[in-house]
Structure 1
């Protein structure tokens, strides 16, 4: 396997930046959410002096996984039933939880 070109690394970097930009902010932890962790990791990985050591296959797989999460691919593929969302012991639990976050 040959070393990734500068253009491939730059393209991957821009894709990660797009994911970070589009990632929703965490209302519960506004200063330490997934968005900030992703931004920090991208910065550390792509701004390091040895960017040639990036495992491009692994980075692309991670990018694909992040895109799937961002696009709600699995939420649409595996919808949650009303039975799970309204437990018999406390049917309003999740609706109250969501309303407290808004």
Structure 2
């Protein structure tokens, strides 16, 4: 393996160490799957492609596209339900800390609707 290919592999692995942990699915982590792919050294990709993938990982870590294309205005507040996205973020933050009974209660509330 050439020196540049090892350098590209190190860039990818360094980017994966900075990747945030997924709290919704702690048993399956994105960075662990990609680390297995790149650690073996036999990823089968040319070093130029590995550098491109490392660049893509770094750009996602830096929120480059969120900064380049900011979402403002009516996209975050649809007329049908203006609080949809704030409620979604709230649910995603609360989901990992819910107990079994809380999850069961939410499921029953979703099934039984009083009109």
Q: TM-score scaled by structure 1? A: 0.77
Q: Give unpaired runs (5+ residues) of structure 1.
A: none
Q: Give unpaired runs (5+ residues) of structure 2.
A: 94-115
Q: Within 1, Cα distance between the matches of 2:5 and 2:49?
A: 13
Paired residues of 2:16 and 2:35 also in contact (CA < 8 A): yes
Which residue matches 1:88? 79
- Tell me which of 33, 51, 73 is aligned to 1:60: 51
Q: What is the CA RMSD across the aligned residues, in angstroms?
A: 1.9
Counterpart secondary structure, 2:48? helix
Paired residues of 1:27 and 1:101 also in contact (CA < 8 A): no
1:13-24 matched pairs, under 5 angstroms: 13-24=9-20
How far is 1:98 from its partner? 0.7
Larger Rg: 2
1:33 aligns with 2:29: yes
Runs of at least 4 residues off by over 3 Å: none
Q: TM-score scaled by structure 2? A: 0.70
